Structure 1
Amino acid sequence: MNFINKNKSKLRLSIFAFAIILFSNCENGETQTVTTKSELVWADEFETDGAPDSNKWTFDIGDGTAQGIPGWGNNELQYYSDRPENIVVKNGMLHITANRETFMGSNYTSAKILTKGLYGTKYGRFEARIKLPWGKGLWPAFWMLGDDSNGTVTWPNIGEIDIMEYRGQQPTITHGSVHGPGYSGATPITKSYELTNDRFDTDFHIFGIEWGENYINYYVDDVLYNQITPADLPEGANWVFNSNQFYIILNMAVGGNFLENPGSNTVFPQTMIVDYVRVYK
């Protein structure tokens, strides 16, 4: 496994030490606002072996049925657990592992952690360095949800920012999307990024967004490949990304509406390895 020295990775901070600039979008000739965030305000470097830091992460446990939403609304096949077989910190990395096994009525297990109730914020740069798995039916993600802790606003009105979603059978392609009222589920505002000389399962890559008032920029390895603004929404749709704080989620689903279910040739176990998660302002 190709691990890099984390101290070296911290040198990336110097890359961000410049002001707001304007970037020309080569695809359509429009101007994009690029705001570079350089002050680190929250991070997990996964330096302590064992369970994820309970001061930073909580778990979703189960298959969603306790919330009345089987598969959390996506017809997923996994049971999320907090067992070390599914999630553990070791060698300075977080490992989220999907297994094919019979457990609590499901045929697959995996894990999902989130900062809900512990950390949330509005605007900033959010990034994670991740090595993805490979195989049909694997759905790892690094994403954010609007804080619905008061229970008065529900999805998709709370907003969802998918920093990285990935179909395991397409190892060169990742996706960045937003969901909100009128542009959710199968019809998000989205764009894909494709590697030309590499695969996401063979090495680590940095997935990030820079989120400010009325824009969200999407990056892979500091390459800006997408900007979403209110102008991209369907006519009359509401931009729900200026008011709420959002919390962070890391998970690996198995099967579901976003992709095909695992096949007989899908090899298990499969692991999503996270080097760090960082938030800058």
Structure 2
Amino acid sequence: MKYMQIKTIQSVALTYLGVIAMSVISGCETDETQTVATFTNLVLDENFDNDGAPNDQVWGFDIGNGIDGWGNQELQYYTDRPENVTIQNGVLLITAQQESFQGSEYTSARLLTKDKFEQQYGRFEARIRLPFGQGIWPAFWMLGADIDENPWPGAGEIDIMEYRGQNPTVLIGSVHGPGYNGGDAISKEYTLENDRFDTGFHIFGIEWGPDFVNFYVDDVLYNQITPEDVNEETDGEGVWVFNKPFYILMNLAVGGTFVGSPNAETEFPQTMIVDYVRVYKNNAD
């Protein structure tokens, strides 16, 4: 996902930054050689155990409809109301409603850890059950913490998971930076075989080091992006910007250029259900 566009299981115990040959079973092809890291120090463990509003020591909110629907012509108005974001029975509920509100036809929520929790490198994961339907666009992603001084795409973006609700078996992991952003992001899809992402929980994660970003679904490593990939994909014009702290975002958008608008078959409300968010770092960091 583009910024203004808005847009596990711990890995096998191998030496940090050790390169190994491995075979990965998934719905997608993957390279035979991947860099696999072990991050064992848990530094953020959000289990959403307390009913009510999210912990304001960790989570803030984007409010409103942004500029041109957050740059994508999205249709929702983001709020911090309990109708759109609340914790119940040990899970975080981010809910898109069809309602007239502040000039928009839909409401939802977008949470972020900016200025509250930011980290360079590590494992970032969340266990989520996704919503479904034409025009429904959930995402779990990250932005460079220097975005106020270094506007997107210079700050960089990592989309751990984004998904079109009308295609509930396929998700996308991407990176965006100078020379590769928006529709030209470096991306890969993952297809869930014989199942759908809206019928149960799955763990979406990345493992991120100085020279790689690995993308996971549950315990499957399905993609790795490196500076060499950026160089190759952009004919040397792209810049690797994933060497600084990033913060986390979670949101549920409605409509926009990525998914199109809801139609008569789209049911509301739709809810993105988050069981936990966890972040690890290397013991040496």
TM-score by length of 1: 0.90
Q: Secondary structure at the match of 1:186?
A: helix
| Contact 1:97–1:110, Cα closer than 8 Å, also in 2 | yes
- Would the alpha carbon gap of residues 29 and 210 (structure 1) be closer, same or farther in structure 2, given more than 3 Å must change? closer
Q: Runs of at least 4 residues of structure 1 off by over 6 A?
A: none
Matches within 5 A, 1:76-115: 76-115=74-113
- The residue type paired with residue 56 of structure 1 is V
- Would the alpha carbon gap of residues 143 and 96 (structure 1) be closer, same or farther in structure 2, given more than 3 Å must change? same
| Contact 1:16–1:37, Cα closer than 8 Å, also in 2 | no
Give the aligned partner of residue 251 of structure 2: 251
| Contact 1:59–1:82, Cα closer than 8 Å, also in 2 | yes
Instruction: Give the drift of 1:24.
Output: 3.5
Q: Secondary structure at the match of 2:69?
A: helix
Q: 1:53 aligns with which of 49, 55, 71?
A: 55
Q: 2:36 aligns with which of 30, 34, 37?
A: 34
Instruction: Give the drift of 1:16.
Output: 4.7
Structure 1 residue runs without a partner (length 5+): 1-8
Instruction: Give the drift of 1:193.
Output: 0.3
Q: Secondary structure at the match of 1:74?
A: helix
| Contact 1:137–1:262, Cα closer than 8 Å, also in 2 | yes
Instruction: Give the drift of 1:49.
Output: 0.3
Matches within 5 A, 1:4-153: 12=9, 16-19=12-15, 20=18, 22-24=20-22, 27=29, 30-64=32-66, 69-148=67-146, 151-153=148-150
Give the aligned partner of residue 185 of structure 1: 182
| Contact 2:118–2:145, Cα closer than 8 Å, also in 1 | yes
Give the aligned partner of residue 6 of structure 1: none
Q: Secondary structure at the match of 1:72?
A: helix
Separation of aligned partners in 2, 1:28 and 1:115? 31
Separation of aligned partners in 1, 2:74 and 2:87? 25
Q: Deviations over 1:94-127 (max 9, x none)?
A: 0000011100000000000000010101000000
| Contact 1:128–1:274, Cα closer than 8 Å, also in 2 | yes
Q: Secondary structure at the match of 1:232?
A: helix
Q: Secondary structure at the match of 1:73?
A: helix
Identity, in percent, stands at 61
Instruction: Give the drift of 1:30.
Output: 4.9
- Would the alpha carbon gap of residues 95 and 255 (structure 1) be closer, same or farther in structure 2, given more than 3 Å must change? same
| Contact 2:19–2:33, Cα closer than 8 Å, also in 1 | no
Q: Secondary structure at the match of 1:170?
A: coil
TM-score by length of 2: 0.89
- The residue type paired with residue 144 of structure 1 is M
Separation of aligned partners in 1, 2:69 and 2:226? 30
Separation of aligned partners in 2, 1:29 and 1:120? 30
Separation of aligned partners in 1, 2:240 and 2:267? 40
Structure 2 residue runs without a partner (length 5+): 1-7
Could you say which structure has the greater relative contact order, defined with CA pairs below 8 angstroms and 6 or more residues apart? 2
The CA RMSD over aligned residues, in Å, is 1.6
Instruction: Give the drift of 1:148.
Output: 2.4
Instruction: Give the drift of 1:43.
Output: 1.8
- The residue type paired with residue 254 of structure 1 is V
Separation of aligned partners in 2, 1:16 and 1:41? 19
- The residue type paired with residue 274 of structure 2 is V
| Contact 1:25–1:32, Cα closer than 8 Å, also in 2 | no
Matches within 5 A, 1:116-265: 116-148=114-146, 151-233=148-230, 234-235=234-235, 236-242=237-243, 244-265=244-265
Instruction: Give the drift of 1:17.
Output: 4.2
- The residue type paired with residue 241 of structure 1 is F
Instruction: Give the drift of 1:70.
Output: 2.1
Give the aligned partner of residue 3 of structure 1: none
| Contact 1:16–1:38, Cα closer than 8 Å, also in 2 | no
Q: Secondary structure at the match of 2:64?
A: coil
- State the aligned residue count: 264
| Contact 2:124–2:205, Cα closer than 8 Å, also in 1 | yes
